[in-house]
Amino acid sequence: MENSAALSTKKDYRVPFGTVSITDEAVKLINKALESKWVTRGKYVQEFEEEFAALFGAKFAVAVSSGTDADAIACATLYDEGAQRGDEVIVPALTFVATANAVVQAGFRPVFVDVDRNTLNMNPDAIEAVITPKTRAIMPVHLMGKPAAMDRIMDIARRHYLTVIEDAAEAHGAELNGKKIGTIGAMAAFSLYAAHIVTTIEGGIILTNSPKLAEAMQSLRNHGMVNKFEFSRIGFSAKMNEIEAAVGLGNIAIFEDILGKRRRNLLYLIDLFQEFDEYFITLREEDHEKIGPHAFSIILREKLPFTKESFVEFLDQEGVDSRNLFYSIPTQCPSYQFLGHKLGDFPEAEYCADNGTHIGIHQDIELNQLDYVAEVVKKFLKQNL
């Protein structure tokens, strides 16, 4: 039996944004960990790493305390390859701010490229123009679980001798040309936050096929330690604990069920929103890809007689929970003003931020709730066109 509790929201929504699944088996493992009095990183963390790696077809997995730490530790491995503090990592302008924060926390400078509003992902045409002698890596984000243009990104990286770090925070179960997202770049960082398909409530994990990178990550998550109190790197305090790993093991056991329900909801909502294509840009799944659904993005098209704010307010009034579609980090997040960008430098990311929202399609949402979402959208359009 599975215990699913909605994430905290400001009211009881008819269609809530998120959920978290904690299985009975996970509760048993938590109790065993508590009874053993060994709750820091131990056998359950190791078991979780092994099962996560096997699930995604990677050789190694390194569990850490958050998705942000996963990104930062992946970046920090670049120092083993000769990178210097202040070197550059290319990231998309539109993503959750943690992607850029992790680059800064690792001691690098984020260099932003614009996105494609139809995919929400990094525009590969914009990458080569920002590559400099200080560029060390490209970090594409698979936003909303939709795969980025990895074939082109990998080709650019090979030609310029750059490392590719996939930010797969929201892309559990996604595939591109038959390859699992998370196994295409040199490394891939996943978030295990409560809203994601595999969750440890808080947490993150990094995948790689390189034993050298895996060893560096294991050191970096524990202050750079290689032996007891021997420190070879400047590291982080970012270990996962046994309680979190127990929750993660429970989620891995029901991974296919969660992924299947989310994909059912995604494809159903894609079909429903075809009726509204004149007014909204929404996720599409191409023949060569498989989205690992996190949420369903809705972006207003240009020159409509209503605003995103009025649309979101109406959704809220009708009991449909939503979230803003992130921001253009370099131009709409005050914390990144130090980089010197100005509004207009990343028009696609800024358009998505100004005109986009996203709603839940998680495993606890049923098809009749998605039918209700479509009814609410119809009602809004009838009143505002």
- The residues, ordered by sequence, that sit 6+ positions from 211 with a Cβ below 8 Å of its Cβ are 59, 60
Dist CA 371 CA 55 (whole Å): 32
Q: Which residue has the higher pLDDT, 100 or 31?
A: 100
Helix (H) / strand (E) element for 281: namely strand 280-282
Flag the least confident range among 34-43, 44-53, 202-211: 34-43
Q: What is the pLDDT of residue 5?
A: 43
Q: What is the pLDDT of residue 23?
A: 83
Query: Which residue intervals of the chain are DSSP H helices?
Result: 24-36, 43-56, 67-76, 98-105, 150-159, 211-220, 242-253, 255-272, 308-317, 329-332, 347-355, 367-384
Instruction: Compute CA distances 332 → 38, 46, 54, 139, 301, whole Å.
Output: 44, 40, 39, 20, 20
Across the range 276-284, mean pLDDT stands at 97
Asked if 348 contacts 117 with a C-beta cutoff of 8 angstroms, the reply is: yes
Q: What is the pLDDT of residue 3?
A: 47
Structure confidence at residue 18 as a pLDDT band (50, 70, 90): confident
Model confidence at 2: pLDDT above 70 = no
User: What's the half-sphere exposure (Cβ side, CA atoms, 13 Å) at 319?
Assistant: 10
For 255-384, the fitting CATH number among 3.90.45.10, 3.90.1150.10, 2.40.160.100, 3.90.1300.10 is 3.90.1150.10
Asked if 91 contacts 110 with a C-beta cutoff of 8 angstroms, the reply is: yes
Round to the nearest angstrom and report the end-to-end CA distance of the chain: 46
Q: What is the pLDDT of residue 291?
A: 98
What is the phi-psi region of residue 189: left when phi exceeds 0, alpha when psi lies from -120 to 50, beta otherwise? Answer: beta
- Tens of pLDDT, residues 302-314: 999 999 999 999 9
Question: What stretch(es) of the chain map to CATH 3.40.640.10?
Answer: 2-253
Question: What stretch(es) of the chain map to CATH 3.90.1150.10?
Answer: 255-384
Structure confidence at residue 10 as a pLDDT band (50, 70, 90): low
Nearest to 68 by CA among 232, 221, 222: 221
Nearest to 380 by CA among 291, 238, 258, 275: 275
Dist CA 91 CA 315 (whole Å): 31
Helix (H) / strand (E) element for 226: namely strand 225-227
Across the range 111-118, mean pLDDT stands at 98
Q: What is the pLDDT of residue 24?
A: 87
- Tens of pLDDT, residues 42-97: 799 999 999 999 999 999 999 999 999 999 999 999 999 999 999 999 999 999 99
Percent of the chain residues topping a pLDDT of 70: 97
Structure confidence at residue 185 as a pLDDT band (50, 70, 90): very high
- Tens of pLDDT, residues 143-184: 999 999 999 999 999 999 999 999 999 999 999 999 999 999
Q: Which residue has the higher pLDDT, 83 or 39?
A: 83
Instruction: Compute CA distances 380 → 174, 273, 361, 383, whole Å.
Output: 32, 14, 20, 5
Dihedral (CA of 304, 309, 310, 312) sign: positive
Q: What is the pLDDT of residue 227?
A: 83
Instruction: Compute CA distances 267 → 15, 34, 169, 185, 357, whole Å.
Output: 17, 41, 21, 27, 18
Q: What is the pLDDT of residue 320?
A: 97
Dist CA 38 CA 287 (whole Å): 47
Model confidence at 221: pLDDT above 50 = yes
Longest dimension (CA), the chain: 67
- Tens of pLDDT, residues 333-379: 999 999 999 999 999 999 999 999 999 999 999 999 999 999 999 99
Q: What is the pLDDT of residue 181?
A: 97
Q: What is the pLDDT of residue 26?
A: 81
Average pLDDT, the chain: 94
Model confidence at 196: pLDDT above 80 = yes
Model confidence at 232: pLDDT above 50 = yes
CATH 1.25.10.10 fits 2-253, yes or no: no
CA dihedral 115, 120, 125, 131 (to 10 degrees): 60
Q: What is the pLDDT of residue 319?
A: 97
